[in-house]
Amino acid sequence: MAHLAAGDWDAIKAFMIERVNLPNCKGPAGHTGLDGSRWYRMIGAWEIQGFVICETCYQELVAWNQLKSYFATTPTIKSDEHLWTCDAAVVPLIKEGLRRAIASPHRWDELHRLFRRRMEYPSCLETKNLLAGSTYWYACKAVPDLVVCTACYLDHFVLDYASSWELHPLTPEQQQQRFECGMQTLQIYAALGVCKQIGIAANTDEYDGFETLARMILESPPCNAEDMRNATWYAPKDCTVDVYAICRRCLLGFMAPPGFAREFKEVESRRGGNWLCDLHPTTPRFRKYLAKYAAAVKLEDFSIFSKYVVEWTPYPECPRNEACTNRKWYGEGRFTACELCYKEAMEGASLASRLDCALVPNEARCQMYSRRMRNLWRQACENNDLDSFLALANERMDAFLLMNMEKERQLAEMSIRMSQRNTLLLASSMNTGIDGIVSAARGDNGTRWGNSSIGYIWQTSAGAEGRLQFDQAMGMNVVPASSDFARMAPVMQRWAELE
């Protein structure tokens, strides 16, 4: 900051006090509703249609330097229901460009042109639902198969590596198709981010390394949720149990950039026929793995990641309220907790030794996944009162079983009504068909069948019966009646209180 360079500690203190009173930028989540949030935009010749930044980012990036002359000093107060997102948070080019404009004021015109250009094109996520011709595409000269949309080119490459990219022309046919941006490949995105992070920390240029990795990533089989039985698998060297493995593409994208790949060994196959890579986004622990990985990269310590994998991966995911059979449980009486929740919330506590551990062949559910139950467990340990905790757990389970029984009853009744309705529709279709066949075979003899409600327009009794069956089917209410909902409401409310 300019104040820091000038040693103006009073100004720095004033900024810090004001910043503490501001909420953090909400990023992609944005602001909805009439929340009274304050927003800033560029003014005059510098105004860019649709461009806004939140008050927090304005104070951090603009208010204290020469850039404030390009922005409105009076904020706009959000007063509509639409979603507003801060462009400094969701558009990487904006935040990095503003930082560079602070350091190099003479570059403002050039950077502003890039800002304006970026705001004219759809985001990378938006291009997934648009035809390829809705934006321009750029190809990496060193890796021709790596093609990115305009938004990603501007956000990630134009400031430092524009000369390494070229416009990728599309044929008229291709313009009418859908393209997937190369940055939608998770491993490419991860490799670029880590290479940049390492380059900033070491004050080196890691871009050539990124291009090499990108080429290898694109040459390796995709990491997907489908059959990957022919993939090459890797596991941490200190992982002695066959519980964790990642595919080659994830090894290259995540582990190679920070130098963690040497800590992995190739393994023969996945456990128990599970062919899903443990770094695929659909795996239950993907976010936890990603958080530990990010911490390991930041601190340059692979053990942060590997210790978590070795310690926690052997435990199956918590089934929550789903009934499971032939599974190991901790508990006492009707109370059961899965291995994962036991380790997370109960192991080592004063009352933990009073719980049994056994393989239970019958159905059981985990009762320790909720915050309420974990708080009750802590209170029980503080008071050395396991009996009260077990009584509350039994009350909770009774409420769940009652709610579940009512749900199953309503579903069964709905299934019966649906079956009856389908039977009536099938019979109606058959009788109507018979009426049509008979009518065509014998001609019109003047006789009509029906009644006052459906009219006398059928030439056979089957036709009239078919119409009655159709009307009966259409009049059936398959979904639960209001009385069913009324009966269900207090049961669900009680469960919500106890869960």
Is the per-residue pLDDT at 340 higher than 80?
yes
- Positions of E strands within 355-470: 356-360, 449-451, 455-458
Q: Could you tell me which residues are beta bridge partners of residue 53?
A: 40
Same domain? For 279 and 359 the reply is: no
pLDDT digits (tens, 9 = 90+) for 401-414: 888 777 777 767 77
pLDDT digits (tens, 9 = 90+) for 134-143: 999 999 999 9
pLDDT digits (tens, 9 = 90+) for 103-114: 999 999 999 999
Query: What pLDDT shows up at residue 101?
Result: 96
Query: What pLDDT shows up at residue 209?
Result: 95
| Single residue among 289, 312, 335 that ends a domain in this structure | 312
Cβ-contact 281, 186 below 8 angstroms: yes
Same domain? For 109 and 22 the reply is: yes
Query: What pLDDT shows up at residue 470?
Result: 85
Cα separation of 81 and 37, whole Å?
A: 12
Number of domains, the chain: 4
Cβ-contact 55, 112 below 8 angstroms: no
Q: Could you tell me which residues are beta bridge partners of residue 331?
A: 336, 356
Count CB-CB contacts under 10 A for residue 13: 11
Same domain? For 241 and 348 the reply is: no
Domain assignment present for residue 153? The answer is no
For the segment 364-387, the average pLDDT, to the nearest whole number, is 94
Domain assignment present for residue 173? The answer is no
For the segment 39-62, the average pLDDT, to the nearest whole number, is 93
Select the more confidently predicted residue: 430 or 166.
166
For the segment 124-133, the average pLDDT, to the nearest whole number, is 93
What is the percent of the chain where pLDDT is above 70? 94
Cβ-contact 253, 186 below 8 angstroms: yes
> How would residue 482 be classed by pLDDT, with cut points 50, 70 and 90?
low
Is the per-residue pLDDT at 215 higher than 80?
yes
Query: What pLDDT shows up at residue 456?
Result: 79
Cβ-contact 454, 467 below 8 angstroms: yes
> How would residue 17 be classed by pLDDT, with cut points 50, 70 and 90?
confident
For the segment 133-158, the average pLDDT, to the nearest whole number, is 97
Domain assignment present for residue 297? The answer is yes
Same domain? For 308 and 334 the reply is: no
Domain that holds residue 459: 399-498
Same domain? For 379 and 413 the reply is: no
* Distance set, CA 304 to CA 87, 239, 454 (Å): 33, 13, 76
Same domain? For 462 and 489 the reply is: yes
Take residue 238 and report the two structure tokens written for it. Answer: 């200190």
For the segment 214-221, the average pLDDT, to the nearest whole number, is 96
Domain assignment present for residue 38? The answer is yes
Query: What pLDDT shows up at residue 378?
Result: 95
What is the percent of the chain where pLDDT is above 90? 61
Is the per-residue pLDDT at 441 higher than 80?
no
Q: Alpha helix locations (H) across 67-135?
A: 87-90, 92-103, 108-119, 124-127
List Cβ neighbours of 20 (8 Å cut-off, separation of 6 or more).
Answer: none
Residue type, 278: D
Domain assignment present for residue 149? The answer is no
Is the per-residue pLDDT at 315 higher than 60?
yes
For the segment 55-68, the average pLDDT, to the nearest whole number, is 91
Query: What pLDDT shows up at residue 478?
Result: 67
Query: What pLDDT shows up at residue 345?
Result: 93
Is the per-residue pLDDT at 499 higher than 90?
no
For the segment 148-176, the average pLDDT, to the nearest whole number, is 96
Query: What pLDDT shows up at residue 23?
Result: 86
Cα separation of 218 and 215, whole Å?
A: 5
Query: What pLDDT shows up at residue 5?
Result: 52
Same domain? For 414 and 373 the reply is: no
Query: What pLDDT shows up at residue 467?
Result: 86
> How would residue 437 be classed by pLDDT, with cut points 50, 70 and 90?
confident
> How would residue 274 be classed by pLDDT, with cut points 50, 70 and 90?
low
| Single residue among 356, 384, 412 that ends a domain in this structure | 384
Select the more confidently predicted residue: 189 or 6.
189
Domain assignment present for residue 447? The answer is yes
> How would residue 19 be classed by pLDDT, with cut points 50, 70 and 90?
confident
Cβ-contact 235, 244 below 8 angstroms: yes
For the segment 67-93, the average pLDDT, to the nearest whole number, is 88
pLDDT winner (highest mean) among 326-335, 435-444, 452-461, 474-483: 326-335
Query: What pLDDT shows up at residue 73?
Result: 79
> How would residue 227 be classed by pLDDT, with cut points 50, 70 and 90?
confident
Domain assignment present for residue 138? The answer is no
Is the per-residue pLDDT at 445 higher than 90?
no
Same domain? For 371 and 455 the reply is: no
Same domain? For 26 and 110 the reply is: yes
Same domain? For 294 and 216 the reply is: yes
For the segment 145-171, the average pLDDT, to the nearest whole number, is 97
> How would residue 7 be classed by pLDDT, with cut points 50, 70 and 90?
low
Same domain? For 295 and 201 the reply is: yes
Cα separation of 153 and 175, whole Å?
A: 18
Nearest to 216 by CA among 259, 161, 253: 253
Q: What is the average pLDDT value for the chain, to the nearest integer?
A: 88
Query: What pLDDT shows up at residue 423?
Result: 86
Is the per-residue pLDDT at 484 higher than 70?
no
Domain assignment present for residue 254? The answer is yes
> How would residue 476 be classed by pLDDT, with cut points 50, 70 and 90?
confident
| Single residue among 259, 280, 312 that ends a domain in this structure | 312
> How would residue 78 be classed by pLDDT, with cut points 50, 70 and 90?
confident
CA 438 to chain centre: 59
Same domain? For 361 and 411 the reply is: no
Cβ-contact 359, 330 below 8 angstroms: no
| Terminal C-alpha separation, the chain | 50
Query: What pLDDT shows up at residue 31?
Result: 84
Query: What pLDDT shows up at residue 119?
Result: 96
